[in-house]
Structure 1
Amino acid sequence: MRGAEFAELKAFAAVVERASFARAAEHLGLSPSALSQTIRLLEARMGARLLNRTTRSVAPTPTGDLLYARLAPLFRDMADAVAEASAAAGQMRGKLRINTLGMAARQVIAPRLGRFHRAHPDVQLDIVVDDGLSDIVAGRFDAGIRVGGRLEKDMIAVRLTPDIHMIAVASRDYLARRGVPQSPDDLHHHACINWRLQADGSAYRWEFEQAGKRVEVAVDGPLVTNHSDLGVAAALQGLGIAYVFERDQMDEHLRQGRLVQVLADWSVTRPGLFLYYSNRRHPSPALAALIDCLLDREPLASERPFQAGH
């Protein structure tokens, strides 16, 4: 392959990944007009339109999708090869794209940002906070951080935290107005702040367990969100009952009396936070270094595959 052809393919991949000529041009160090000319040359050589352009967006055509699907793994392998060679020479560099829950960003990533940067100043972290269930492969992320029970089976996973409890909470003002629920069935008569699962758009059915009896409740209320901070804010302001992870900023709210736990005897335990990545990719040296940092440990040789319930 000639150098010009490689540059055209690299430019095409950059546009697809950023869904923008302007952002791709900035990444490649080109002017938008030069990038447009490069794409036109590639399309002329291919004899097919590869990108659909509008004034607001750019997206691959079916032919472009096919081309990108073949190119993306090759470019990732090349980037990993360069990163591994650099790491072997003691010069770890590159970009890591991480998709993470907000609670993981606050509790696990944020406290360690400085330490990771001091150890690896040439590694750029691109952290996307996403309380939905985005596909990290389709989103071209190096790794994601989720609650363990929500991971696909074809992922390699590394446990970051112990198991965590789900708790139902509400403000004292709300409970004074509406009463305290005594069982999950009582939630049908309460305003509840619900969580929408981004993967299919459905609302989360609250799960409870007592003495081996497990129940799921479909709730309703004034707010549905896919962002935990909004749900907690709504509960603090008396809009209703929220169902949240106990470790997600709850200790201080409960200790100060801003929120009160209800249905404590029905709480369930969920797997803790896991960092995960596709089992079709070997973790780059930068990702391996980030995992070590998040776990406050010395590097380990490998990680085991994730299995549900472990």
Structure 2
Amino acid sequence: MRGSEFAELNAFATIAAHGSFARAAAHLRVSPSALSQTIRGLEERLGVRLLNRTTRSVAASEAGAQLLARLRPVLDELDAAVADVTAFRDRPAGTVRINAARMAAIRFLGPLLGRFYRAHPEIVLDVTVDDTLADIVEGGFDAGIRLGERLEKDMVAVKLSGDMTSLVVATPSYLARYGTPKTPRDLHQHRCINARFPTNRTLYRWEFEQGKKSVEVAVKGPLVLDDWDLVLRAALQGVGIAYVIDPRAQRWIDRGKLTRILEAWSPTFPGFYLYYPSRRQTPPALRAFLDFVRSHALA
């Protein structure tokens, strides 16, 4: 295979993984127009359309999906071969691509960025903050951080935090005006702050447990948000009752700005995990990142 043919196939696989010419071009560090020309040349040479394009999305055609299924293992093996060679370097180097839920990025990555750079100046961290439960393998990421109950299958997972507990909160002034719910069903009589899943755009049904009894409640209220930080901020402003999983809410409870309610019904769930695909040889740059985050998160 000539170098130009490999570059064309690699470009095709990258576009399919990112679902976007612009994102793939940024990943490959070429211009979108140059990348488009490369794919056009590949499709003309093969005589088939590999990508279906619209103004909003790019996806593999039937022929493209078939090619991608055989091509991806080959490219992964080439990446692993290069990683094996770079293991002989004295200092880890290269790019590590991370996909992290927003809450995880703020909690685990934000405080470490400066220290990680000083410890590993030759590693480039490419962080995508994403709450959509992306497939990190399909998206071309090296690792991810998310809640344990949402981990993808066949991943190596490292626990970064203990189990977490959901918190149902409201301001003291709201409760003084509208009363305090005693059971989850009482929420139907209250102004609640709805949260929307960014993945499928459905509203989150509030989950409760007491003993062996479990209840899901579809709440109503004046706000629908798809960002948990905004949910917490709205609760602090007295908009209504909020269901939050952000540990930062506890400090507002401790300060008396928020009051926790329905505590006996609040379930616990697995905390955050750092996870990555199982590989024959973990690249040194990724290993350095994994070790650094794990050591500081568990310190």
Structure-2 separation of matches of 1:147 and 1:87: 31
- Structure 2 unaligned segments of length 5 or more: list them: none
Structure-2 separation of matches of 1:101 and 1:18: 18
When structure 1 is superposed on structure 2, of 230-239 and 139-148 the one drifting more is 139-148
Q: Tell me the residue number matched to 1:176.
A: 176
Letter in 1 for 2:295: D
Structure-2 separation of matches of 1:13 and 1:270: 36
- Cα shift at 1:100: 1.6
- Structure 1 unaligned segments of length 5 or more: list them: 298-310
SS in 1 for 2:295: coil
- Is the CA contact (8 Å cut-off) linking 1:83 and 1:94 kept in structure 2? no
Percentage of identical aligned residues: 54
Q: Deviations along 1:51-88, whole A, 9 cap, x unmatched?
A: 33456654432222322333233323322332332233
Q: How does 1:6-155 map to 2 (within 5 A)?
A: 6-22=6-22, 24-25=24-25, 27-28=27-28, 30=30, 32-54=32-54, 58-155=58-155
Q: Tell me the residue number matched to 2:285.
A: 286
- Is the CA contact (8 Å cut-off) linking 2:83 and 2:283 kept in structure 1? yes
Question: Does residue 261 of structure 1 match 2:229?
Answer: no
Distance 1:95 1:262, change over 3 A: same
Structure-2 separation of matches of 1:240 and 1:258: 13
SS in 2 for 1:296: helix
Letter in 1 for 2:122: D
- Is the CA contact (8 Å cut-off) linking 1:96 and 1:142 kept in structure 2? yes
Distance 1:67 1:290, change over 3 A: same
Query: What RMSD, in angstroms, separates the aligned Cα atoms of the two structures?
Result: 2.6
- Cα shift at 1:159: 0.4
Structure-1 separation of matches of 2:11 and 2:284: 25
Q: Tell me the residue number matched to 2:195.
A: 195
User: What is the TM-score when the length of structure 2 is the normalising length?
Assistant: 0.86
- Cα shift at 1:118: 1.9
- Is the CA contact (8 Å cut-off) linking 2:184 and 2:208 kept in structure 1? yes
- Cα shift at 1:231: 1.0
- Is the CA contact (8 Å cut-off) linking 1:134 and 1:198 kept in structure 2? no
Structure-2 separation of matches of 1:66 and 1:12: 12
Distance 1:26 1:136, change over 3 A: closer
- Is the CA contact (8 Å cut-off) linking 2:160 and 2:273 kept in structure 1? yes
- Cα shift at 1:291: 2.0
